Amino acid sequence: MPITPGQELPELKVTPDRFLTVRYAGASGDFNPIHIDEEFAKQVGLPGRILHGLWSMAQVARAQTEAAGGPHTLRRLSVQFRGMGVPEQELIVTSTVRELHDGNAIVDTEAQQAGNKIIRKAEAELDLG
């Protein structure tokens, strides 16, 4: 599909299951108890276990690469973590092409759960080859 400035790319919607943070802790090596221990997370003032920021960022990357034709298309990704994501709540990644330059698309993107933007002002550069 041709990508043009102002175009909204397909949304990515994914609902992390209740065990995602435990699996991701094992995969990433980040065993911070705010991600894997419900009671600890609540004791430190969180609503419960929270998603790893890097997992959320990976979903932003995934949305871009699915829209552009595969992982090889992602040249750069920059994000600002601005909120906490939680398991068992749909995450929605939205993306809009800002500009095209030398065969690359610059895309503005963000991720939110229940209206709370957990990744804001993210920018992806996609190689349209």
Distance of CA 9 to the CA centre of its chain: 14
Span 36-57, average pLDDT:
97
pLDDT digits (tens, 9 = 90+) for 76-120: 999 999 999 999 999 999 999 999 999 999 999 999 999 999 999
What is the predicted pLDDT for the residue at 36?
A: 97
What is the residue-averaged pLDDT of the chain? Answer: 96
List, in order of start, the domains of the chain with CATH numbers. 8-17+52-127 (3.10.129.10)
Alpha helices, H only, the chain: 20-28, 33-36, 38-43, 53-68
Share of the chain above pLDDT 70, in %: 99
pLDDT range class, residue 3, cuts 50, 70, 90:
confident
Torsion sign (Cα): 79, 76, 90, 85: negative
